[in-house]
Amino acid sequence: MNQVYENAMRRALELALLGPAWGENPQVGAVILDASGSIIAEGFHNGAGTPHAEVDALSKLSVVPTGSTAVVTLEPCNHTGKTGPCAQALVDAGVSKVVYAVTDPGQASAGGASTLKAAGVEVVAGVLEAEGLALVEKWMWFASHGTPWVTLKWASSLDGRAAADDGTSKWISGPESRAESHLRRSNADAILVGTGTVLADDPELTARKPDGSLYSHQPLRVVIGSSALPEDSRIFNGDASTLVLNTHDLDSVLSTLGSQGVKELWVEGGPTVASKFVASGLVNEYLVYLAPKILGGSRVALQDVGVGSMPASVDLRFESVTRLGDDILIRARGK
């Protein structure tokens, strides 16, 4: 049955992606198999307050056949929050076996496997675990640390400049890069810049489709720093919520955002703020959009990050390199 479970788990992973990437809950998918291994019901979690994936799948069945197996991307939860515990729902439904990919690390939600076993349900853990971890890694970080996963993004010329010497930066990257960046932005919980960027560029910090319309989900706009901001700044328009934090303490910023359920934070600059995040070792993932331009000058994408010699460099590994029109997107993480 191993191949049957792996195939079912792949389907559950596909279903999980139908749920929102944003929000404090993870993306989870589930399928129910009958005794022969055929899929008889499917479900996914559609965000906080909606049924969890297992319950969504069970709701498609009037009766759960004897010998059924639930295949879930994440260990069924064991607590009552906005919805009831999924582990108990599976027990009450009469499921004979539960197969899952990733163990739940949450202090409140973990322990579903123990509840299932105590009720006589067979449990198989770790099926396609690597794929499952890749799906929920940002949520795993949030659940384990209580602070957001930090993605640092910038667009620059090939020689690392974020703008020309006269300050113009529109557009360094091409339309394909901008469209891809805005799609990723729409899946983040919050987007952060410093007051200097707001004063210099007056950005909207919204997630927009190529035609200029707004995505249905807009990240929380976060501005940090001590400079006063004009009331007519575009970040105060009604297109998204805005939070201004009058501090330069990044740990305090992340703690505040974590307490508000921000799972993934996009840091978009400017160079001063971006450099502080790098120097503080707070970046989980780098997204660098490189354009085939040479600008020269002093307007670099990153400033001093506390590296005084080659042995002190911030060493990264490339996760992927993707061609976007004339540009290149590099995804990198710490080694």
Give 307-330 pLDDT, tens digit per residue: 989 998 999 999 999 999 999 999
Determine contact, residues 149/266, Cβ cutoff 8 Å: no
Mean pLDDT of 261-272: 93
Residue type, 44: F
Sorted by where each begins, the domain ranges of the chain are 2-143, 146-334
In 3D space, the residue among 175, 190, 177 whose CA is nearest the CA of residue 330 turns out to be: 177
Tell me, what's the pLDDT at 270? Answer: 85
Task: Inform me whether the pLDDT recorded for 81 exceeds 80.
Answer: no
Phi, psi values for residue 83, rounded to 5°: -135, 170
Q: How far apart are CA 161 and CA 151, in angstroms?
A: 19
Q: Which of 182, 267, 254, 179 is nearest to 217 (CA)?
A: 182
d(CA 73, CA 10): 9
pLDDT at 105: 84
* Predicted pLDDT at 109: 61
Check pLDDT > 90 for residue 167.
no
Residue 155 has pLDDT above 80, yes or no: yes
Q: If you average pLDDT over residues 113-130, what whole number do you get?
A: 95
What pTM was estimated for this model as a whole? 0.90
Tokens 């939600």 found at: 109
Buried b (16+ CB within 10 A) or exposed e, 214-233: eeebbbbbbbbbeeebeeeb
Q: Are 14 and 29 in contact (CB under 8 A)?
A: yes
Contact between 115 and 87 under an 8 Å Cβ cutoff? The reply is yes
Backbone angles phi, psi at 54, to 5 degrees: -65, -45
Percentage of residues of the chain with pLDDT beyond 90? 84
> How confident is the model over 281-311, as pLDDT tens digits?
999 999 999 999 999 988 998 998 889 899 9
Q: Do the Cβ atoms of 185 and 258 come closer than 8 Å?
A: no
Across 163-190, average pLDDT: 91
Tens digit of each residue's pLDDT (9 = 90 or more) over 209-246: 999 999 999 999 999 999 999 999 999 999 999 999 99
CATH 3.10.129.10 is held by the domain 146-334? no
Predicted confidence band of residue 84 (pLDDT cuts 50, 70, 90): confident
Cα–Cα distance measured from residue 220 to residue 264, given in angstroms and rounded to the nearest whole number? 11
- Tell me if 256 sits within 8 A of 226, measured CB to CB: no
Torsion, CA 176, CA 178, CA 179, CA 185, rounded to 10: 150
**Helix (H, G, I), strand (E, B), or coil: what is residue 62?**
coil
pLDDT at 171: 84
Give the mean model confidence (pLDDT) for residues 72-83: 84
Query: What amino acid occupies position 251?
Result: D
Return the active site residues. 54
In this prediction, residue 45 has a pLDDT band, given cuts at 50, 70 and 90, of very high
- 107 pLDDT band, cuts 50/70/90, is low
Question: Please, where are the H alpha helices in 102-214?
Answer: 112-118, 129-145, 175-186, 195-201
Cα–Cα distance, 217 to 327 (Å, whole number): 26
Residue 15's pLDDT is what?
A: 98
Q: Which residue, chain included where needed, has tokens 């022969």?
A: 36
Confidence class for position 17, pLDDT limits 50, 70, 90: very high
Predicted local distance difference test score (pLDDT) of residue 125: 95
The CATH class given to the 2-143 domain equals: alpha beta
